[in-house]
Amino acid sequence: MKTEIESIPGETPGIAYELIVHRLTGSDPSAPRVYIQAALHADERPGVAALHYLIPMLEKAEAEGRLLGSLTLVPHANPIAAAQHLFSQHMGRFSSGTRINFNRDFPIPDERGVRTLHAASSPVFAELRLKSRLLELADNHPIVLDLHCDDEGVQYLYIPEQLWPEMSDLAACLDAEAAVLWSAGSDCAFEEAAFAQMSAKAVNGNLSGLCATTVELRGQLDVDPALARKDAKGLYRFLKMRGVIADETAQPAQLRADFVAKQIRNVEMVRAPVGGTILFHVRTGERVEAGQLLAEIVSRPGEAGGTVGVHAPQSAFVLTRRMRRFIRMGDDLLKLVGDSPSPSAHDGTLED
């Protein structure tokens, strides 16, 4: 494995950020090339932990001559966000300079198929140059995995609808519980931008063998050796099944019997009707029925009528819930995958 450290100049004198890139070289030029990054939202750490255990496994395969496809790995994809702290609290989701979500506004090809990227010396904010560089690194890799996590949640994936069910092998290898399928984006997240470039370059529109996804590795606090090793083994198994690593004994994985795969229009974003303290009545991974009590929000403790109940709008699977137990009116409380489309469904990302 070769490691490169790239420098991203900051916007003011004396400031620069380091982007660490690992490259492993496969022996078969026809084997799939793979790009994996983690911590684009720098306060999301399960992907970093998974790569910590995956990288030695890949190095061993490379040393033994079993690595067929080449890989590019970026364990800390956002050094800019990693440096953002305010009063000892890490702020890794939004840029403190532009107030834009770090996983939005990636460059995508226009109607002519032309994509405009910013060079390292371009006179724009560092985060724009970082986004361009990450896409450059991912280019020409038919398999692109962006490792994220949610607040509290099950393991699930965002997958372009055109790549399902072919990408069910990744979900099975990771033992994921759900997949959210999207067909139209509007916020230009990394996954969307990578897939748009893949599609633009696809010969005769053939998308077979392609893989572009955001992998949500449970919740922000789900970071421990056991889970990280499980995720690393799941990713390694997927790479074997896709022919990136040679292993004649590899057996196909099966989706969980209760696996949920629904279009993004079926996702219900349940928001808080009042502010206060959250008392959840359901866990992530549960099935709920229409009208079932999901949570109570205590706005006036101890007073009659001081608690407001939040109920399921339809029968659904509980995908995620809020990690912090203090909430404002209008904040996202839970994310459900409904049996039917949500009346409030819209194109684009689900959350800011």
Domain that holds residue 40: 2-257
Three-state secondary structure readout of the chain:
CEEEEEEEECCCCCCEEEEEEEEECCCCCCCCCEEEEECCCCCCCHHHHHHHHHHHHHHHHHHCCCECCCEEEECCCCHHHHCCEECCEECCCECCCCCCECCCCCCCCCCCCCCCCCCCCCCCCHHHHHHHHHHHHHCCCCEEEEEEEECEECCEEEEEHHHCCCCHHHHHHCCCCEEEEECCCCCCCHHHHHHHHHHHHCHHHCCCCCEEEEEEEEECCCCCHHHHHHHHHHHHHHHHHCCCECCCCCCCCCCCCCCEEEEHHHEEEEECCCCEEEEECCCCCCEECCCCEEEEEECCCCCCCCEEEEECCCCEEEEEECCCCEECCCCEEEEEEECCCCCCCCCCCCCC
- What pLDDT is stored for residue 196 in this prediction? 96
- pLDDT of amino acid 99: 94
pLDDT tens-digit readout, 98-148: 999 999 999 999 888 899 999 999 999 999 999 999 999 999 999 999 999
What is the bridge-based pairing of β-strands 293-298 and 276-280? antiparallel
Check pLDDT > 90 for residue 49: yes
Count of domains observed in the chain: 2
Residue 249, pLDDT > 90, answer: no
Domain boundary among 257, 284, 316: 257
Residue 352 inside a domain? The answer is no
Q: Residue 347: pLDDT above 90?
A: no
Residue 65 lies in a domain: yes
Asked whether residue 31 falls in the same domain as residue 152, the answer is: yes
Last residue of a domain, one of 257, 284, 319: 257
Among the candidates 239, 257, 275, a domain finishes at: 257
Would you say residue 329 lies in a domain?
A: yes
Q: Please report, for the domain that includes residue 301, its CATH number.
A: 2.40.50.100
Assess whether pLDDT exceeds 80 at residue 212. yes
Is residue 177 domain-shared with residue 39, that is, in the same domain?
yes
Q: How sure is the predictor about 184, in pLDDT bands with cuts at 50, 70 and 90?
A: confident
Regarding whether 269 and 253 lie in a shared domain, the answer is no
- Predicted confidence at residue 112, as pLDDT, reads 86
Whether 343 maps to a domain, the answer reads no
CATH code of 27's domain: 3.40.630.10
**Residue 345 in domain:** no
Give the model confidence (pLDDT) of 84-101 as tens digits. 999 999 999 999 999 999
330 has a pLDDT exceeding 90: yes
